[in-house]
Amino acid sequence: MAVGRALIVTRLTNTYLCSFNEDESFWYLTARRELPLEDRVRNGDDMSFKAIAVALAGLLATGYSAFADPMTLEFSWRGSKGCVTLFPNPEIRLRNIPREGKFLSLTLTQGLREMGGQELPIPEDGVLPFGTIRTFGPCNPGVYTWTALVKSATGRILSEAHQARFYPTDALAPEKP
């Protein structure tokens, strides 16, 4: 089995190794014990090992993605010319894209008003070059938000990222609580 990531937890005399394959859908747990069996049972270590193994396995099976960094989206209005009917997107940089993601859905909004968007394959390097998609352009000064949804091959949403900036000043807008 190809191992994509591993999490190693060491507790006194026991080492627990949890490994994931490339799509993070399977894991296995191995343990190296250094105490003889009679000492582990006498000291109650066998029960604590089982409790830790079960807790760790449950945590990893239900929420390994909680350990991963969230996906982020970054862009800048610098060099963008607004007030055009078919506005070319600025360069958009995505980081920490889920590996099982296949499609990227991008949308530009101003408040509740959707300016347009498009779904396309995820760029290998996470960078969507200037002008890859077209939307209605920002014209009036205000806060505009790019939203990225990463989807699996079946269309399931795997991750979401937003960034809001004032147009045309390019200052970051405060995040909503």
* CATH code, 107: 2.60.40.2550
User: How many domains is the chain built from?
Assistant: 2
pLDDT averaged per 10 residues, the chain (length 177)? 41 43 44 47 54 52 59 94 90 97 97 95 96 92 96 97 95 83
Last residue of a domain, one of 42, 67, 92: 67
Same domain, 26 and 87: no
Q: Is residue 11 part of a domain?
A: yes
Whole-number pLDDT of residue 52: 58
- Out of 44, 67, 90, a domain closes at 67
Distances from the Cα of 98 to the Cα of 128, 130, 165, angstroms: 16, 23, 25
pLDDT (0 to 100) of residue 45:
52
Within a domain: 160: yes
Structure confidence at residue 122 (pLDDT): 97
User: Do both 100 and 128 map to the same domain?
Assistant: yes
DSSP states of 115-165 = EEEEEEEPPTTSEE-TTSSEEPPP-SSEEEEEEEEEE-TT--EEEEEEEEE
Nearest to 106 by CA among 124, 82, 89, 129: 89
Range of the domain at 47: 5-67
CB 115 within 8 A of CB 109: yes
**What pLDDT is attached to residue 60?**
47
